[in-house]
A and B are shown apart, each in its own frame.
Chain A
């Protein structure tokens, strides 16, 4: 991975892909790792038990989509952390620091700074206005059919790209870590996710995410502690050793050639920050708490845990340079000039072995698998709710739908999405899916974020502005990503330098474009409904500020 990736400019997409758990380089199926399998089977047993318990408590649509609104702020904060910290963060950032040094840490920072923005501008009004999906917020005073159709499509696009990256990553990782064939790895992820979500809905998904967050935070704390212990808990000597051993020496302290172009640096920064604030499976979590106060607490705890975790990536990344890079045991053929055993995403896993032997490696491998399961469950639930709540209940049935049938549609959609995810996992097995997480963030920043933010804060937004602006953001982000080097050259195979859009991420251009179109097509809209929508803003604003009329928790 190192030489190949260093050879050309690396795209956001490629970086995020590593971040997503996509592997590069030779993938050799490993011997069956019993430590990992036993720990993982224990995780599955516990989570299936929780799902059984959650299934008994899941009766209404509100239970299914929002865990009855009865999750506390602290629990939700941990669950958000579990939903957000994908294998991306853990394996991907460690791998990026391992290969490039400081460059990887730009991701650690970028993935976190979206959270304060969510807190200051979005969390409370989101909770006060929404019920189950982000379309609830955008459609509060706008026309349901067009706005929900847009929001559902945009949600499904974001979810699909994220899901493909996770499924392919999961298949390859499990093949590597557990010695299980790709086929069975993808099927088992798909089936487990279907079971969690179909039977246990948001309650089971929440607890799977909470347990996973605990495992990931505990596991990485332990690893970082063991790494630091080798340097008498002196970060400076750790850093000095990493600089000494890495082929690029002092250059690993520089941001890296990938962000040498200012447009790339800013576009990456915008995609990471505002993409976070537009991810449907993350925003959906705010509807699981009882009121705005708990929503606030959720963000604080999520920011604390996620931030703490990203600080650990500084230690893990540089630690991997020292303990993995020069250890022949972790390289193909026992030769340190050859690629890592298992591919480019493996530094974190080898590091676990280096500091804690087979048991630690098995534990971390199981945590990585649990991580992917928790993320795909959240994604699938959010995709299923966009279909059943927005498209089926609101657009097709015009709100005339019984509780039971909406949940039934949601469950059926979950199964379909699960099967779809398994098929996508097979379809994309041999394809470089590197760009997909980057694409999901770019779409979230360019389509979901502007529409949701403006609908809550700007009186002037009309249905026409929201739908045109949203679709412009969605389509321009998709098209420019396809025309960028990450797909045009790396996937479609056109020659280097032929990409029509030369930058790593389109967000710097497409997000402002979406805002501009939302504005332009709103202010020029003088229709009767547009005026009614503007007049309806005050009532919406009062509710968003005070919570009067907002959905409250149900007691069980």
Chain B
């Protein structure tokens, strides 16, 4: 990539938008995952009796948290894909096209 193409892409508002949006969305989801998982690990480590607390019949908070963490991982990755397919791909192709057209000038 030559220096002028690079400059052009960096000053493209679509590029700036893509980078900021993806960064904030990706890190938000990553931090949600980290907080929930290590929150769970903290309960395992410091308050194991909560894990074994029965909620409905013999089903415990620990089992519900486990299934919830697994389902949440699937849902969060799905959310990311939905957002990326609808927003990031359009932005990316706009950036790529702009860079290509600009290059022909």
CB-based nearest B residue for A234: B57
**B69 lies within 8 A of A113 (CB):** yes
**B49 lies within 8 A of A259 (CB):** no
- A532 interfacial contact with B, CB 8 Å: no
Interface residues of A in 72-121 (CB under 8 A from B): 102, 105-106, 108-109, 112-113, 115-117, 119-121
Most chain B CB within a 10 A radius of its CB, from A109, A243, A250, A269:
A109
Contact status of A314 and B66, CB under 8 A, knowing A235-B59, A262-B46, A548-B1: yes
**A546 lies within 8 A of B62 (CB):** no
Shortest A489–chain B CB gap in Å is 23
Contact status of A113 and B73, CB under 8 A, knowing A254-B51, A314-B66: yes
**A293 lies within 8 A of B89 (CB):** yes
Q: 0/1 per residue, A433-465, Cβ < 8 Å to B? A: 000000000000000000000000000000000
Shortest B17–chain A CB gap in Å is 11
Q: How many angstroms between the C-alpha atoms of A273 and B33 in the bound complex?
A: 11
Q: How many angstroms between the C-alpha atoms of A293 and B33 in the bound complex?
A: 22
**B44 lies within 8 A of A542 (CB):** no
Q: How many angstroms between the C-alpha atoms of A297 and B67 in the bound complex?
A: 22
Shortest B24–chain A CB gap in Å is 11
Q: 0/1 per residue, B10-32, Cβ < 8 Å to A? A: 10000100110010001101100
Q: How many angstroms between the C-alpha atoms of A251 and B51 in the bound complex?
A: 11
Q: 0/1 per residue, A246-263, Cβ < 8 Å to B? A: 000011011100011110
CB-based nearest A residue for B43: A255
Chain B residues whose CB sits within 8 angstroms of the CB of A300 once the complex forms: 74, 77-78, 80-81
- A239 interfacial contact with B, CB 8 Å: yes
Binds B, one of A11-19, A29-37, A302-310: A302-310
Contact status of A253 and B60, CB under 8 A, knowing A120-B30, A293-B89, A548-B99: yes
Interface size on B, residues (CB 8 A): 53
**B62 lies within 8 A of A240 (CB):** no
Q: 0/1 per residue, A382-407, Cβ < 8 Å to B? A: 00000000000000000000000000
- A555 interfacial contact with B, CB 8 Å: no
Shortest A140–chain B CB gap in Å is 12
Chain A residues whose CB sits within 8 angstroms of the CB of B52 once the complex forms: 102, 250-251, 253-254
Chain B residues whose CB sits within 8 angstroms of the CB of A297 once the complex forms: 81
Contact status of A120 and B6, CB under 8 A, knowing A112-B73, A240-B57, A253-B60: no
**B48 lies within 8 A of A255 (CB):** yes
Chain B residues whose CB sits within 8 angstroms of the CB of A264 once the complex forms: 45
Most chain A CB within a 10 A radius of its CB, from B9, B44, B71:
B44
- Taking a contact as CB atoms closer than 8 A, the residue among A117, A266, A548 that contacts B33 in the complex is A117
Shortest B50–chain A CB gap in Å is 10
Q: How many angstroms between the C-alpha atoms of A262 and B70 in the bound complex?
A: 22
- A190 interfacial contact with B, CB 8 Å: no
Q: How many angstroms between the C-alpha atoms of A549 and B96 in the bound complex?
A: 10
Contact status of A542 and B73, CB under 8 A, knowing A117-B30, A314-B63, A314-B67: no
**B73 lies within 8 A of A262 (CB):** no
**B80 lies within 8 A of A539 (CB):** no
**A307 lies within 8 A of B58 (CB):** no
**B33 lies within 8 A of A120 (CB):** yes
- A236 interfacial contact with B, CB 8 Å: yes
Instruction: Please report A residues at the B interface, Cβ cutoff 8 Å.
Output: 102, 105-106, 108-109, 112-113, 115-117, 119-121, 124, 235-237, 239-240, 243, 250-251, 253-255, 259-262, 264-266, 269, 273, 292-293, 296-297, 299-300, 303-304, 307, 310-311, 314, 538-539, 542-543, 545-549
A-B pairs with the 4 shortest C-beta distances? A265-B45, A262-B45, A236-B57, A253-B52
Instruction: Please report B residues at the A interface, Cβ cutoff 8 Å.
Output: 1, 6, 9-10, 15, 18-19, 22, 26-27, 29-30, 33-34, 37-38, 40-42, 44-46, 48-49, 51-52, 54, 56-60, 62-63, 66-67, 69-71, 73-74, 76-78, 80-81, 84-85, 89, 92, 95-96, 99
For this complex, 6 residue pairs linking A to B, each with C-beta atoms less than 8 Å apart, are A102-B62, A117-B34, A120-B80, A243-B58, A266-B45, A545-B18
Known pairs A120-B33, A254-B52; list 11 more (Cβ under 8 Å): A109-B66, A113-B69, A116-B77, A239-B58, A253-B51, A253-B54, A266-B41, A307-B71, A314-B67, A545-B19, A548-B9
